[in-house]
Structure 1
């Protein structure tokens, strides 16, 4: 096998000619097939800095061990060759469409006296009519069944006129679902006329057929043929309902297709909307793994070639949600399939742009439906791991927050998320003891983590095992305080601070060494960290309010004359604790509350201290 330097040397000798390049791995397997307008320019791009490559391309390049080229006469010839080689080799890093379901056609045997409907894989060169292709056999069968029911055509396997009169009419006749040509009472001309109406429906001509039936119904009424008029009325209603529901999948006759690619959290999706006469007729979607939104142009370029090669039916216009490489060559390729000119465009405004937005909306809906909540959670953890460089998937995350009220009742909260979901049975609360020395968030955080890790070191099962990562609500100072505690216990678990912006919205994660990881551009991680931060804050606030409510309701200050809710709050807000109020001088109290209230508070605590002194004297005696 050639070395990397030998491959680079070969690249420099490639011609500036159109052609196809075939990338191979160490086992000699074809892993990617591509086409190029100028082979040297395109292949050289794979042997340069990977900084500008998409993740998918970087993965592919890392596997290249050798490559071949095939020079062609034109870019169009290269595109055709590329498409056939992708079908042949099914390379790992090409976008591959599954063609096992096929795109069937509806066949109408108009060459027979009593035409029949069937589903076939492809049209044949005979006198019968073919409609499609349909998105699958189920769609084709639905089209046949719906039309036959609306026009009361036969759905049995009997062949007429051979089997006329051989058996009794089936249940469909008695239910009014079939005009029963098996009885011999339906001439071939009458049945053929109904089949012609079915063909109009398959062609999407609902309005024209409705007008024909209305005219026939009016004529029957004028001739006093009321039974026939009633039958035509029911048929008209069925056809109108059929048109309103758009049950016929007329993708093969679409004059406009709209293709859009949307990337979800775990998968991508391409949606194709088929329009006929300005009306939406059908939708198809294909789920694609291993790509990102940055690959949109490549995905659509590969998709459009394979998709229409399989369908063998191309509309006059194809609208795309993103620019594709060599759009003119692709349009020529589609024209070769259709036998006429095909327009390929990426609209930027107007009605066409609105159609593309609708296709994108449909793709997003399909992704939302297909992606399970478990997949989304797993993907968010994988992205978090890749972003921060953690060695293992962060399946268990522990988050911490500090809360206090006016400097009093300082509490800490610990919440746990397992597999990106809250694990409330592992939540823990801490009443911070060091708060008696004054408000200090760093000191409070250090106390909380020290107590948590000491429980773990002592073998307390309620605090085991350690998480995959610690998340601290706060900035660089908070996370460095937490890291110091982890170092003290010899814990090597990663630790990050959850940083907010000036508007108190989650901005990113910060490591103890000062590195900050922005998460606002990664929706899955942004949503996960934001949810964790809100949950740990909610848990801390709830505990704090419970404690504050108890202390306020039973506060010593409530026993002092002249101290109500307002004065109590003012005193606590200023002095931070009851102990500080107890030891305050009269002058200090007067700075916060009126003179009479200050005297009452001062005298109350001095009287209590005098009482304690007397009680202690009695005990000593």
Structure 2
């Protein structure tokens, strides 16, 4: 791989200048990836080309001065007018260029590329039919064994709920450890298992029970009646918490049941991608059809203040999803748009990825066209439902801070420490629409820095290093002032990431954070350090405060846990007769300081001598 760039950092270049023209003249006719930058050095766009020279030159009209080519869309013409410099990377072939382009878009988040973050693998239900008494398991990976495995899915949601229901309704082998057991356990006593370990059920009878369970995976309606009966029983016996869990589970399975009712005459395996755009929002709908029925569906909301390029979104969606290991591959991918040459590129990628031909088809009529229309209809409904007051707040935030795009995904950072000890950081993630706070994406950081500035640097550097694994958000929100904002801006510029930053901090009087009684005086700052002192009733301020407060809660909770661990550790070492070696022995047995602290006298005596155990127990519980 060969890289080429024009050194323009020492001087600020104007858009469409002679310096850019000189670079354009020297581009080779080879496969590669190109980057466009504006006069501030911010990344505008990443693209790939089979022939760099032809592709890049197609953006421009070469007259007395450089100008956008006349056949460009309004969106791309707007982008070309901002290009002040470019960089390109030469690769071996077009497929390498396709993969590199997608990787760079996810890491660097260029302004005019739409970033699709939803590249996760969806779970499958799997059963090994070669075992005598097989279990159904939930998996996101492809098992190395190929013979006898049967997969169901993928499931965008509801897989865990369906699996738990199968094990409640059908007397299957409940746990993996039960296979090694020689004696019937509690599950047999409560009639949740037929004890194959004691030979109480034959292989043939068990297979019949298993097949009934597998039928419910293919048609979830079959299990709903039994679940509803159980929910009613729990409610009648005043077990309302358990009934509520059952109600939520039924709701999830009903969503699966709705999709599986769509039935094709032919038993085909198809994946469908359909994009619906309305204003600054778009919905990307995915249908996964297996054996002529829709196994599941997933929808992703995309925001953009500069329009959408449908072809680019479809390309990125296919690359993201099929770059994962998949146990079940479709025979065909349906997309309600003619992708032209891009379809051929994607088919070549799929051929190399899976060693089989998977055509990308734009159906014009028949069942497949109706399936695409159904996906589009679902996308329109999702966009209709997701419109709310928050949309106005986000659009107003874009205007207030002069952001490149309407922010949809936020990462918020805060630190916590006490006199330079137990230094921790926290990152929370918020996504507008139905998702809200994404707690599975929250992160804690143990930090070494002695002050808030160095702690923030350490935390942000570690997050930037993870952009390759988890793409950047639309906006960073920092609990801090001008120093932290400048720090973040410089770190992101050094990494070449197009990500904007704002800050929220308390008003300071006499160099101390001032908290007005009953009224928090928070100051917002944009990347240029302009201050915004909004009234407390302003919804934009309230929205940012909501994000900051959640990050603060998450950081404080983690800090308190770390402080408690340190206190417990110190207390154990203060006990006469317990040194570091004994402490490590206690940790090895109990697993944590919390467990040591809560252990009873009998448990401590399993590790310590009776006298030392008694002494330790009395000291550890002296404050209780």
Larger RCO (CA within 8 A; separation ≥ 6) = 2
Return the TM-score normalized by structure 2.
0.47
TM-score, structure 1 as length reference: 0.47
Structure possessing the higher radius of gyration over alpha carbons: 1
